[in-house]
Structure 1
């Protein structure tokens, strides 16, 4: 926090002058339109001119030499009936406003009515359909005459005759004609469908979908804010073709798996490259903690430490044209997160208040107590076993009339989330600022006082001096997370471990009940709330700061440097008292753990940018270099052997203390360049290259080169096509090819490493050391080659817009840990394998606007992605230790399994087909796994719809996935154990001749054990986990401006949102997405809130 405060105070001192682009030209009786085209090419500014506005223009005669843009325009329009304003690099040309009007002046607008000579004074404001003021809107009198533009706050004023019609026009919005009248005339403009011309952030720059040569997708803040999620990645689910996102747990800080265009590596580095405001960010699946408190379920996600409301847009880069300039860091794609910036205009205050509730989406029907007892006794009978003293549930110790719905007790609560955000923003054309702050608190569905709070601050300061030469942009984000969640997921207890007739959770005095038996003088119950007594506290601070400095040295030549810093610091304390365990356990399990982990990185990227317009060409050249360092260090200290629970609060009381320190330093450097040539806005070529160096490789192979080439042809601009197909708005073909790399292996893998031996036995107070890995100084880079063919076609002013991509990606020289024989003393060695993975697929997206009316619009969008993953090469696979894992010509995510047949009607055991075609309940692991199961998604996509009626907006998204997954039936164990069972086990084998789904109840029969164990490696272990889910639903209402005037508010929006509303699937389990009953599923969230703009 101190760092951001200091940087912000420093940036407030920025007083450097800003210098504009310089204009040089000579004109002799030159039409004004041609002069303005020359200014556009030299300045890079866009012009907004009404199509008929230049009909009264005069020829231009002047000579300019190195004039600033405002100076040049002043001279150009000096003797013209026009004036101009500059708003956000857009020059708006309008007719000059005459202030000394008489009644005679208005006779030229005579419409024949009685008011044709009556002068009226009109004033008001112009806003978009969300209530935001629009700056630079052109307001003219229909038929000619006076005109003006709106100010920074969206207001305007002018004089005209009462019979006149005012025409309001703005780039990207539908024009409106309104009858002039005395007094206030407030106007709302509707936005056009301008998806092709929206700015897209790319590596080291920006582009638009119209002129992009790469496969890029962008999700805006508007879409992100419609979803009640604390991890911004979850707002992208189903919205980006080719990107598959899987939420692994309902814990908000839990892991999120993300793959772009398939999995390229056998083992290492499958996560995309994340960049936040130019600063590299740790991979999404890198657990920011050391003890994973409350992140139960496959680790944690670093993106949970980014506030979604601070995000302006998220851009996904997929093909080589978009990613190769990032080199070795973006072989799996790149995700660029751009935070919000201040905008010119009056100072505004934005306030967001939101509250949410969450529940598990469904419950599984379980056996009741009597059905459970029958199952237990049936297993005893089948095993010919007597009821023992340890069978507390059926030997009379437990009350057999009790029944507890453990799903309701342990995970059936309601989570609550409160989110408050407020921001102050504004500025001039040269300086803009934004200051935001927020507070979020959330609880879980678990019992007890489990909560996490987050406080966040976001700052942005942008400054450009008056002559546009120098610019300085700063952004800083700080988030503090205080996590006091339980460090154990109770889902497994609710569904698997606790029988339905177990004793109550609490004694009469409120203490945990461990089921003490007077008859046996022992404790009979492992209370599932024992983990609640563990005291966990995790504190995480995330700081991101970026400064971007630019100076225009010469015409079109700009020097730029980007400086970035990121630090994630985590401190955890876990206290484990003996009281958290059943008292019958005599072993001393008391412990105290303290962990500190810091991940800090800095990056410096100096760049040179050059732009030049000549003839009908626009040339852009970028040259730059990267210097980056990541430092990870931490210590985990554990204390054991405490004599009582009171001692664990101070680790110094522990008789045995062990420490695990570590420090990792990763350095990276590179040089890069890109050339983009646009000819006639029809033919576009992009060439990019990079040379990277990584400290993860030895000196022999430390550097690697990467490149890409791409081109696009906007064939709709060809005269023949343009004239023959007037309904065609855009037609473009894209082609790209290039390479990217992967160095995502453990640091120092080319060296011999040692670690402390973690044991309670020490020698003279010293801990021994042991080798952890074999050195390999000859490690090389993984290499990915990408080919992408794309097409964009739009019709009817892009009311119908289709985007398609076909890609083939091949990754070779695979990096992974190769297992070694135990006699070597090492488990494995990192090495390159002569193996190649191919991912090829199709991405299709259709965006339409079936209805677009004044007060009603309907946008409909759908996308679908198909990806085929295949191992196409693996030299000497049959001789390697991976021969039982991979098959050439098959996906890398396959499982080799026994063909499962059914439950044998004669024996009541699971049966499989062996390699020789016979039925068996004890197949051979090496010989009989003849069937292949692919668990990669076959296809996935979504259908989204947005309906706007006056102030109401309804937005929904259905996501669908076709895939296989491990069945949860495997987690049930042998039928008849002292545990919970779902009601489906009623369909089990009871006697010879039965046709059943589950084998007989038995826990002692070795044949039943073998048959059950074999199920893990059979086709019966997998089931269809396809689903269609109403992922998101948002309903909002913008209160009309007429109702807000008395309250002096600019805009108010009320909303109700839902996430994971319902899911349709045949999958056995609570969630086909997480596909596990061991972890909490993604929660169904309902949220309400209000947005205020003051």
Structure 2
């Protein structure tokens, strides 16, 4: 067999994987073939193919020995289409050929795969079967051959083959762009072979609007399959995605830890906006959140977080202007495109996925005192010098002597368990296809009483006949989310260990202590220390319920060979109910009027959304040229309605029925709002490629939105990208055949951010309750800015893609610049206006970054199925503000007054940490020494002397990964690294130093006892032990509490084992195609240079998970 000019294989039948297809998938016609000029007389067919290979950039697959035995041919072609040349050359010759996916396969019609002797025929082992891809689609012209021999055959249009070998041996099944599979044959066998794409076979970039060949795509994008997501974990797609691409970052939420009901903060290539609640309406999105596209339509972060990971076919992250400009005003933060699995034709197939997780709360980060240590700390601080001090000290000492050393942290937590189940049934034929999915997941959180139940059903139908292609997907979904009745985890962390959890009779007491914290006067009101176990036992509701449906209808018609029209309509309705209730018996109401004890609130949120589009596509290939153009128009409307009410005052035994409430909240009344947002857009896309080497992308989009000022309702966005496929140059093919891909690409363009409240440009009024002599009136509650313009981001990207040795070693490098100008900033208004904030355009943000992904396969033995992969990825990102001047003086002053660590000044990072610089603790006095901006040392703290003392953005962040496949076993490990960033350790301020008399009623960090200054001459990082009585005694936000945070996290460890019908007898007896098991360890360890509390309101958790997948 001969395989073009890149290699000369030793085996007679071997496929050479093509790197990318020549023509777009929308155009398959005779006119798409390259033109050939060739004059040959009386030559062998292999000679003809060799000469042809010099003129067309295709991959050739044929058997030299087999074709050499056929009659010689002559060819006289002058600028003729390839199809015509082939037809002329093989006219009257017993040859069968096929051109598909850039591969020309030629064979003799008489080929039986082997020519056995009579003896061999008598003892031949018969083999039959079908070959399909990972979605069940039959593969025509797949190669089936006996390893080490010339015997082989090909599959027909249905993917079927019949074959025989004279003696037991090993069979290899291969197809272009697919991972080959081997089978040991010692008896007659019927094989059902399913081939998976190779690592380099992701040749199409799905943008959600159009699909582009990767070879002709100039943007920065990363695509991951559903299988790759499940290698990382089985929780949700977001947790898996952060381990696969360095640009996709889930910002760690130190307050809410592993709470299953809290949505993560997500960044793609950093931020582009100042995140402020003043820019959001009640249900406004985070302005730094990427846009999510699900099956071609926009969706929300909540839908993506609850999406069944087993339904995902692929996820593509679009990062630069060339790939995101088509989404215009919503694309400045990147776009995440999710494609779910579509039904494939064929006999009925059923798959089941079971996902199970165990979450163990991580309490190791809490360094709290035991009962003896806490009592000694209070004694050193002088807590027992006041009225009845000795009496209290002796009482607590007696408790300790009796063995009281309560560990409160274990009370509100539990080992959480998640079980999820997903069933997918599919089938149909080439005309009609159907798929039905049912999924349910019940999550029990790491805190008692918290959890989340999600469920969904999807019906997917497709109809394809002639030039018409219809598809409809109906999704019904919902969830119920409950927060813990044990309240905030920090309340339990702060409980003193010398308190008894229950009374001597085992009952739960309402209070565990009363402490005089204010004065030595015995008549001073004492501080009552509530027992959190008592409050947790009371009736409680903090619940959200959701129900919704979404229907996506899409159609396309192939009008001619070059023209196609697509149209789609999405309808979505969603209802969400939020209910909160706190019992009148709660200790928060100890001094509250009886008619105001207890609280209830309810908010009902209703959403209706529609989006419709129509698109015309033109695609043509001629000679060495490929051109694709798209014109698309989109309209959408989102209407939300919110109704809410709050009530106070409930009977003591009430369980939360609002009918028993005594009053509305003081000054309160039912609330209602309607928020309507509309958008229309027009898009033009152009993609041109010459000779598979040079490619250009041009995008233009015109957006109109109701979110901005009347003078700026419409704005254009555009991008241009260029690429150079160096690997398709002849000198690379001839001299460096080991280079599989070498591509340079660059892009520049504009996008915008529209993740703000929809009323930023509109004045909002509300009716005044009641009437006066002039009648009923209205009052202004929000001032809009009619001159408010779009927040536009200009992006530049340069990228390199490299793959060598048939994708055994790959590298992707991207460098980018993002300039957002102008920013939208809410400024504080004078109190006399009655308006809190007003949005204006001011300043700009300049961002720079580099991303690197490297992957290698030092061991790649497909024959024995032994593979070892290693990889490293990382990102560096920096940003700074400019152009503010002194416009944000009032906002910066407000930040300082609120003890915020963030400021808005030119030349500084958005993530800079602002505090007063500290020289440390004076060894002589135990007081802190501050450093003013002019370098002067002082004991007097002045918040106006705050400067930049650190930056929470790490210098570099990414993952290191490795994976091993040995036969049916697979092992993978991913470790996250993060270094060069700083963190403000709030625990040092709150639980080590800044301890008042009231704070003494709570437990503190051990460092407050062992590492604070005690006597003159002590060199200590922390101030003297004393109770805060004056401002001079207080500790403030200084650089002492800023620490360098370098860490390593065991993000994912996976062990898998797969059984297939072809090589496991009992799987076949059970009627299964395959059965796979996976074991996961997620976030199992964390090594950090900072010792701090993590999970203030809700603890973090270490996870062990298990999944099972069965395909019938």
TM class, shorter-length: 0.7 to 0.9
When structure 1 is superposed on structure 2, of 241-250 and 1057-1066 the one drifting more is 241-250
Shift of 1:538: 1.8
Instruction: Look up the SS of the partner of 2:686 in the other structure.
Output: strand
When structure 1 is superposed on structure 2, of 131-140 and 660-669 the one drifting more is 131-140
Shift of 1:1084: 1.0
Number of the residue aligned with 2:127: 123
Q: 1:396 to 1:680 in 2, by over 3 A?
A: same
Shift of 1:408: 1.7
1:568 to 548, 556, 574: 574
Shift of 1:680: 1.0
Shift of 1:646: 2.4
Number of the residue aligned with 1:1056: 1079
Number of the residue aligned with 2:627: 619
When structure 1 is superposed on structure 2, of 816-825 and 482-491 the one drifting more is 482-491
Instruction: Look up the SS of the partner of 1:343 in the other structure.
Output: coil
TM-score scaled by structure 1? 0.84
When structure 1 is superposed on structure 2, of 606-615 and 501-510 the one drifting more is 501-510
When structure 1 is superposed on structure 2, of 946-955 and 988-997 the one drifting more is 988-997
| 2:789 pairs with 1:780 | yes
Shift of 1:76: 12
| 2:982 pairs with 1:974 | no
Number of the residue aligned with 2:453: 453
TM-score scaled by structure 2? 0.83
Rounded to whole Å, the distance in 1 between the matches of 2:419 and 2:559 is 49
Rounded to whole Å, the distance in 2 between the matches of 1:552 and 1:73 is 27
- What is the correspondence of 1:576-595 to structure 2 with a 5 Å cutoff? 576-581=582-587, 584-587=590-593, 588-595=596-603
Shift of 1:277: 0.9
- What is the correspondence of 1:789-828 to structure 2 with a 5 Å cutoff? 789-828=798-837
Rounded to whole Å, the distance in 2 between the matches of 1:385 and 1:212 is 78
Rounded to whole Å, the distance in 1 between the matches of 2:1040 and 2:186 is 76
The superposition leaves residues 436-469 of structure 1 with CA deviations (integer Å, 9 ceiling, x where unpaired) of 112211112223x44332222123223321x3x1
- What is the correspondence of 1:622-641 to structure 2 with a 5 Å cutoff? 622-641=630-649
When structure 1 is superposed on structure 2, of 1028-1037 and 188-197 the one drifting more is 188-197
| 2:504 pairs with 1:502 | no
Q: 1:635 to 1:91 in 2, by over 3 A?
A: farther
Q: Is 2:1045–2:1090's contact at 8 Å kept on the other side of the alignment?
A: yes
Instruction: Look up the SS of the partner of 2:239 in the other structure.
Output: helix
Shift of 1:74: 12
Q: Is 2:781–2:834's contact at 8 Å kept on the other side of the alignment?
A: no
Q: Is 2:650–2:660's contact at 8 Å kept on the other side of the alignment?
A: no
Instruction: Look up the SS of the partner of 1:980 in the other structure.
Output: coil
Q: Is 1:817–1:828's contact at 8 Å kept on the other side of the alignment?
A: yes
Shift of 1:181: 6.2
Q: Is 1:122–1:180's contact at 8 Å kept on the other side of the alignment?
A: no
Q: 1:641 to 1:118 in 2, by over 3 A?
A: same
| 2:753 pairs with 1:742 | yes
Number of the residue aligned with 1:378: 380
Q: 1:22 to 1:126 in 2, by over 3 A?
A: closer
- What is the correspondence of 1:342-741 to structure 2 with a 5 Å cutoff? 342-363=343-364, 364-380=366-382, 387=389, 394=396, 401-411=403-413, 413-447=414-448, 449-465=449-465, 467=466, 469-486=467-484, 489-496=487-494, 498-505=495-502, 508=505, 513-515=510-512, 524-529=528-533, 530-531=535-536, 533=538, 534-581=540-587, 584-587=590-593, 588-646=596-654, 648-651=656-659, 653-656=661-664, 658-741=669-752
Number of the residue aligned with 1:13: none
Number of the residue aligned with 1:12: none
Rounded to whole Å, the distance in 2 between the matches of 1:571 and 1:176 is 52
Shift of 1:915: 3.0
Rounded to whole Å, the distance in 2 between the matches of 1:223 and 1:178 is 25
Rounded to whole Å, the distance in 1 between the matches of 2:515 and 2:1000 is 24
2:1064 to 1011, 1024, 1042: 1042
Rounded to whole Å, the distance in 2 between the matches of 1:140 and 1:229 is 37
Q: Is 1:515–1:523's contact at 8 Å kept on the other side of the alignment?
A: no
Q: Is 2:259–2:446's contact at 8 Å kept on the other side of the alignment?
A: no
Shift of 1:206: 1.9
Shift of 1:703: 0.3
Shift of 1:898: 1.1
Rounded to whole Å, the distance in 1 between the matches of 2:37 and 2:808 is 43
Shift of 1:749: 2.1
Q: Is 2:548–2:574's contact at 8 Å kept on the other side of the alignment?
A: yes
Shift of 1:352: 1.5
Shift of 1:517: 8.3
Shift of 1:572: 2.2
Rounded to whole Å, the distance in 1 between the matches of 2:74 and 2:1040 is 82
When structure 1 is superposed on structure 2, of 78-87 and 980-989 the one drifting more is 78-87
1:138 to 133, 140, 143: 143
Q: Is 1:639–1:651's contact at 8 Å kept on the other side of the alignment?
A: no
Number of the residue aligned with 2:921: 903
Shift of 1:1023: 1.6
Rounded to whole Å, the distance in 2 between the matches of 1:389 and 1:628 is 71
1:266 to 243, 253, 274: 274
Q: 1:592 to 1:675 in 2, by over 3 A?
A: same
Shift of 1:879: 6.0
Q: 1:77 to 1:547 in 2, by over 3 A?
A: farther
Rounded to whole Å, the distance in 1 between the matches of 2:48 and 2:772 is 86
| 2:317 pairs with 1:332 | no
Shift of 1:888: 1.9
Shift of 1:931: 3.8
When structure 1 is superposed on structure 2, of 395-404 and 983-992 the one drifting more is 395-404
Instruction: Look up the SS of the partner of 1:1028 in the other structure.
Output: strand
Number of equivalences: 1021
Q: Is 1:131–1:1051's contact at 8 Å kept on the other side of the alignment?
A: no
Number of the residue aligned with 2:18: none
Instruction: Look up the SS of the partner of 2:375 in the other structure.
Output: helix
Instruction: Look up the SS of the partner of 1:226 in the other structure.
Output: helix
The superposition leaves residues 593-631 of structure 1 with CA deviations (integer Å, 9 ceiling, x where unpaired) of 222112332111110011001111110001101101111
Q: Is 2:133–2:139's contact at 8 Å kept on the other side of the alignment?
A: no
Number of the residue aligned with 2:304: 303
Number of the residue aligned with 2:867: 857
Q: 1:34 to 1:709 in 2, by over 3 A?
A: farther
Instruction: Look up the SS of the partner of 2:1001 in the other structure.
Output: coil
Instruction: Look up the SS of the partner of 2:530 in the other structure.
Output: coil
Q: 1:332 to 1:129 in 2, by over 3 A?
A: closer
Shift of 1:846: 0.5
The superposition leaves residues 497-517 of structure 1 with CA deviations (integer Å, 9 ceiling, x where unpaired) of x11122315785765643488
Q: Is 1:345–1:427's contact at 8 Å kept on the other side of the alignment?
A: yes
Q: Is 1:389–1:395's contact at 8 Å kept on the other side of the alignment?
A: no
Rounded to whole Å, the distance in 2 between the matches of 1:756 and 1:234 is 45
Instruction: Look up the SS of the partner of 1:958 in the other structure.
Output: strand
Rounded to whole Å, the distance in 2 between the matches of 1:57 and 1:274 is 59
Structure 1: give runs of 5+ residues left out of the alignment: 1-18, 38-44, 64-68, 285-300, 1072-1076
When structure 1 is superposed on structure 2, of 238-247 and 133-142 the one drifting more is 133-142
Q: 1:372 to 1:159 in 2, by over 3 A?
A: closer
Rounded to whole Å, the distance in 1 between the matches of 2:1029 and 2:603 is 45
Q: 1:317 to 1:653 in 2, by over 3 A?
A: same
Shift of 1:799: 0.9
Instruction: Look up the SS of the partner of 2:1064 in the other structure.
Output: helix
Shift of 1:217: 0.9
Q: 1:836 to 1:518 in 2, by over 3 A?
A: closer
- What is the correspondence of 1:179-328 to structure 2 with a 5 Å cutoff? 183-184=188-189, 186=191, 193-195=198-200, 197-248=202-253, 249-267=257-275, 269-282=287-300, 284=301, 301=302, 303-328=304-329
Rounded to whole Å, the distance in 1 between the matches of 2:471 and 2:397 is 74
- What is the correspondence of 1:923-1072 to structure 2 with a 5 Å cutoff? 923-926=941-944, 928-962=945-979, 963-967=981-985, 968-972=987-991, 973-974=994-995, 977-986=1000-1009, 987-1010=1011-1034, 1012=1035, 1014=1036, 1016=1037, 1018-1039=1038-1059, 1041-1043=1063-1065, 1044-1071=1067-1094
Cα-Cα RMSD: 4.3
When structure 1 is superposed on structure 2, of 486-495 and 810-819 the one drifting more is 486-495
Rounded to whole Å, the distance in 1 between the matches of 2:172 and 2:348 is 28
Structure 2: give runs of 5+ residues left out of the alignment: 1-25, 51-56, 78-82, 280-286, 517-521, 897-902
Instruction: Look up the SS of the partner of 1:325 in the other structure.
Output: helix
